[in-house]
Structure 1
Amino acid sequence: MVQKSNPAGAAADQSKRRGRPRAYDPEVALWQATETFWDQGYAGASLDDLSAATGMNRPSLYGAFGDKQTLFRAALENYLDQSRARMIPAFRGGGTLREALDRVYHAALGFYTSGDTGGRGCFLVSAGLGQAVVDPAVRQMVADGMHEMDRGFERLFARAHAAGELPTDADHAALAKVAGVMINALSVRARAGETREQLDATIKAALDLICGPQASE
């Protein structure tokens, strides 16, 4: 028996084979892209890498996030949001200046060493700075992120000054920049492969320099 052709059915089957664009969660896809840029940098992360990480083909990727440069900016903003969620509670916690700085540094370190393949540092430092040279918008975002961190440290030092933990002539802004440089150093050293023990020792040395050696029990 000869089976009659069914053009409508064939077209439907072909449509199923082609498939509709895969459903995706924009927040999840953006975080996957963020992690790809974080690990590989802007230049190192190809569109194929980003497509594989997000599970989206190139047309879907462009449709959702725009071109690679726009996606990188969105990833950087996404990182800043995630970083704030981790760092704000650390800055706002109580305790002495030493306790507060220790809490902030270890909160940052937990973020900087969270990669599946080892320490990857801060996205702003490890990926953002390279692109900042050629993208003014990224440069401004990186600068704003660093200045925001400076302000957080400045508030810590102002609080410590009011509590009598610092000399009366202490320069809160200058101390904040020094504390911020330490954050950047942790990022670089984490990405360079230093162990958690080495980074913990660096934090202790920084706390001794800023706050004075801790009294032995």
Structure 2
Amino acid sequence: MKHFEPAAALGTAMELFWRQGLEATGIQDVVAATGVNRSSLYATFGGKKELYMAALRRYMDEHATPAFAALAADDRGLPAIAEFYDQLVQQRCEGRYARFGCMIVNANAGPESADPDVRQVLDHNQESLVAAMRSALERAAELGQLRAGLDPGIVARTLAVTAYGLNLRSRAGAAPDELRAIATVLLESFTDPRHATPPPEAAPPRRNPTLEGRTSQ
């Protein structure tokens, strides 16, 4: 009979691995964070690697997969990708998980990426992101938003790699405005000039009543 909630313990372990990575996290760190003793952790999840794999899959289920599904289902084309980037920056730079980066991207940059089991999960995530980007790009092409002659497959991979880069820079403490500017410039490079629009954050010019009063006299 378990005297702890496995799902809650896994969630805590996920955040620990997310923040610190596999190599820097010892099983005693997990014991301290979860309040669950070693024998119970081993009996429930297996060794540290098995626990990490379960945490990595949970991260995908809770954070990556829903975001990719929303992007693929959005029929706005390039604005959908712009919103994906904007939400990525917001989530990485604000709130509870600020400067955690992305657990998947962190794993790609860490020694754990050499493990075949971990690599399989990371590659699956990469292909899922590329597929979601490609879906949005195909819709953008249908709407006439893309420059002529672009290869949607290559562009999709470029956008996916950029998302990885934004995650790494956010973990290093880059300013949100810097990250958003990078995403904006990239998307503009793929946009048909006839469909270029101002950024959604752009506000109309502020009126100056004093100046208007002078010019009307």
TM-score (norm 1): 0.81
Q: Deviations over 1:45-75 (max 9, x none)?
A: 1111111222211111111111000111111
- Is 2:53 the partner of 1:50? no
Q: Tell me, in whole angstroms, the C-alpha distance in 2 between the residues paired with 1:52 and 1:150.
A: 37
| Greater mean alpha carbon deviation, residues 28-37 or residues 84-93 | 84-93
Could you tell me whether the CA contact under 8 Å between 2:105 and 2:164 is conserved in 1?
A: yes
Specify the SS of the correspondent of 1:119. Answer: coil
> Which whole-Å CA distance do the structure 1 matches of 2:142 and 2:117 have between them?
37
Could you tell me which residue of structure 2 aligns to residue 14 of structure 1?
A: none
Question: Within 1, Cα distance between the matches of 2:191 and 2:100?
Answer: 28
The CA distance in 2 between the partners of 1:145 and 1:117, in whole Å, is: 20
- Is the Cα–Cα contact under 8 Å of residues 112 and 190 in structure 1 kept in the other structure? yes
Q: CA RMSD in A?
A: 2.2
Q: Report the CA distance shift for 1:210/1:144 in structure 2 as closer, same or farther (over 3 A).
A: same
Give the aligned length.
196
Amino acid at match of 2:186: A
- Sequence identity (%): 29
Task: Give structure 2 stretches of 5+ with no counterpart.
Answer: 199-203, 205-217
Equivalent position of 2:149 in the other structure: 169
Q: Contact (CA 8 Å) 1:91, 1:104: kept in 2 or not?
A: no
Query: Which structure has the larger Rg?
Result: 1
Question: For the Cα contact (< 8 Å) 1:153–1:180, is it kept in 2?
Answer: yes
Change (3 A) 1:118 1:166: closer
What letter corresponds to residue 200 of structure 1 in structure 2? R
2:169 alignment partner in structure 1: 189
Higher relative contact order (CA 8 A, sep 6+): 2
Match of 1:155 in 2: 135
Q: Any gaps of 5 or more consecutive residues in structure 1?
A: 1-19
Q: Is the 8 A contact 1:131 1:139 kept in 2?
A: no
AA matched with 1:60? S
Counterparts of 1:88 and 1:114, CA distance in 2: 23
| Conserved? CA contact 1:133–1:139, under 8 Å | yes
The Cα of 1:152 is off from its aligned counterpart by: 0.7
Within 5 Å, which residues of 2 pair with 1:1-217? 22-24=3-5, 26-82=6-62, 83-95=64-76, 97-113=77-93, 116=96, 118-211=98-191, 214-215=196-197
Deviation of residue 128 (structure 1)?
Answer: 4.5
Which amino acid in structure 2 is aligned with residue 86 of structure 1? A
Structure 1 SS opposite 2:146: coil
Distance 1:120 1:210, change over 3 A: farther
Cα distance in 2 for partners of 1:42, 1:115 equals 23
2:207 equivalent in structure 1? none
Distance 1:67 1:151, change over 3 A: same
